[in-house]
């Protein structure tokens, strides 16, 4: 594969600016990326001309431009995550005989993008475009467990936001932190009757090329039908599916 240093450097500049809380001086960009200042100024000038970066002359700083918003909107329109995940989720259902879905975090909720029902399995409340409280779902917990603690605190500032559906689930921030610690320790997230009485789920996160959790894949099954060993086997199958979708998104490993 041919390497195009200028293109790679321009993408690194955009990636750096996107990761900052606000506009940055060119010197900081150059220092962080290990690029000559002259190269960074040239790249920034081109990106400003194309609308991907905006220059704030009074502050001597650079931030993302409106063209990046168009890229984000185009990404949403094309729905590549759902397209990439759908065949993987379908295979997961076929291989396990249980219903599966993929969901993304949307505030304190999860939004279901892919839903695949297994034959002769119970109906589920989750469906494409349905939203459920993230802290109650296995897919939401799989994502939350991989987020920085500060981001989780921002999403859940007090126990008042911890709603329930079936009378079970974490009611305090301490209980939520314990649930997420358990997911990290176990290697996968679980929920048992917290979304629908009698049904349980296991989930793994899907990550992008930076390791950031962009979605969760879960299997849902009748709680009474599955032993602990079977649950571990289902979780392993979900983990393989999540890793496959992650690789399709550019994740390494």
Note whether residue 58 is domain-resident.
Answer: yes
pLDDT at 69 > cutoff 90: no
Q: How far apart are CA 201 and CA 222, in angstroms?
A: 9
Residues 33 and 158 in one domain: no
Note whether residue 253 is domain-resident.
Answer: no
For residues 104-108, give the mean pLDDT: 88
Read off the pLDDT band of 212 (50, 70, 90). confident
Residues 116 and 43 in one domain: no
Q: How far apart are CA 203 and CA 218, in angstroms?
A: 4
Note whether residue 197 is domain-resident.
Answer: yes
Q: What is the CATH number of the domain that holds 215?
A: 3.30.450.40
Task: Among 26, 48, 71, give the residue marking a domain's end.
Answer: 71
Kind and range of the H or E element at 253? none
Domain that includes residue 138, residue range: 79-248
pLDDT at 1 > cutoff 50: no
DSSP category for residue 103: E
Q: Which of 218, 137, 131 is nearest to 176 (CA)?
A: 137
Q: What is the CATH number of the domain that holds 40?
A: 1.10.10.10
Residues 64 and 148 in one domain: no
pLDDT at 174 > cutoff 60: yes
For the chain, give the percent of residues with pLDDT over 70: 95
Question: Do 213 and 207 meet the contact criterion of CB atoms below 8 Å apart?
Answer: yes
Q: How far apart are CA 128 and CA 115, in angstroms?
A: 6
Residues 85 and 40 in one domain: no
> What per-residue confidence (pLDDT) applies to 216?
96
pLDDT at 2 > cutoff 60: no
Residues 241 and 162 in one domain: yes
Separation in Å, CA 231 to CA 48, 95, 123, 146: 52, 14, 19, 21
Dihedrals φ, ψ of 68, to 5°?
-70, -30
pLDDT at 252 > cutoff 80: no
Residues 160 and 235 in one domain: yes
More confident residue, 74 or 100: 100
pLDDT at 200 > cutoff 80: yes
Task: Among 54, 71, 88, give the residue marking a domain's end.
Answer: 71
User: Could you report the per-residue pLDDT of 21-43, keeping only the tens digit for each?
Assistant: 889 999 999 999 999 999 999 99
> What per-residue confidence (pLDDT) applies to 100?
97
Residues 37 and 155 in one domain: no
Note whether residue 196 is domain-resident.
Answer: yes
Name the pTM for this structure. 0.73
Residues 141 and 203 in one domain: yes
pLDDT at 247 > cutoff 80: yes
Edge-first strand listing for the sheet containing 199-207: 131-133, 109-116, 99-106, 213-222, 199-207, 189-192
User: CA torsion, points 228, 231, 236, 237, in degrees to nearest 10?
Assistant: 150
Note whether residue 18 is domain-resident.
Answer: yes
Residues 27 and 88 in one domain: no
Note whether residue 152 is domain-resident.
Answer: yes
Note whether residue 238 is domain-resident.
Answer: yes
Indicate the number of domains in the chain: 2
For residues 234-248, give the mean pLDDT: 96
Read off the pLDDT band of 182 (50, 70, 90). very high
Q: How far apart are CA 133 and CA 72, in angstroms?
A: 25
Residues 111 and 132 in one domain: yes
Residues 119 and 238 in one domain: yes
Residues 117 and 168 in one domain: yes
């Amino acid at each position: 594969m041919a390497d195009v240093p200028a293109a790679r450097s321009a993408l690194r500049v955009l990636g750096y600016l996107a990761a900052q809380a606000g506009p940055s001086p060119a010197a900081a960009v150059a220092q962080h990326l290990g690029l000559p200042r002259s190269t960074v100024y040239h790249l920034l000038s081109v990106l400003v001309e194309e609308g991907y970066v905006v220059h704030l002359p009074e502050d001597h700083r650079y931030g993302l431009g409106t063209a990046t918003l168009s890229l984000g909107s185009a990404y949403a329109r094309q729905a590549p995550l759902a397209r990439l995940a759908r065949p993987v989720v379908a295979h997961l259902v076929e291989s396990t005989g249980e219903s599966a879905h993929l969901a993304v975090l949307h505030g304190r909720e999860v939004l279901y993008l892919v839903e695949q029902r297994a034959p002769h399995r119970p109906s589920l409340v989750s469906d494409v475009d349905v939203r459920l409280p993230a802290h109650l779902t296995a897919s939401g917990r799989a994502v939350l467990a991989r987020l920085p603690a500060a981001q989780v605190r921002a999403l859940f500032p007090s126990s008042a936001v911890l709603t329930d559906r079936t009378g079970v689930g974490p009611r305090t921030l301490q209980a939520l932190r314990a649930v997420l610690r358990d997911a990290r320790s176990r290697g996968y997230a679980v929920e048992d009757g917290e979304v629908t009485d009698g049904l349980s789920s296991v989930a793994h996160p899907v990550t992008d090329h930076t390791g950031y959790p962009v979605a969760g894949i879960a299997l849902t099954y009748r709680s009474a039908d599955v032993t602990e060993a079977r649950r571990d086997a289902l979780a392993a199958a979900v983990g393989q599916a999540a890793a496959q979708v992650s690789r399709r998104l550019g994740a390494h490993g």
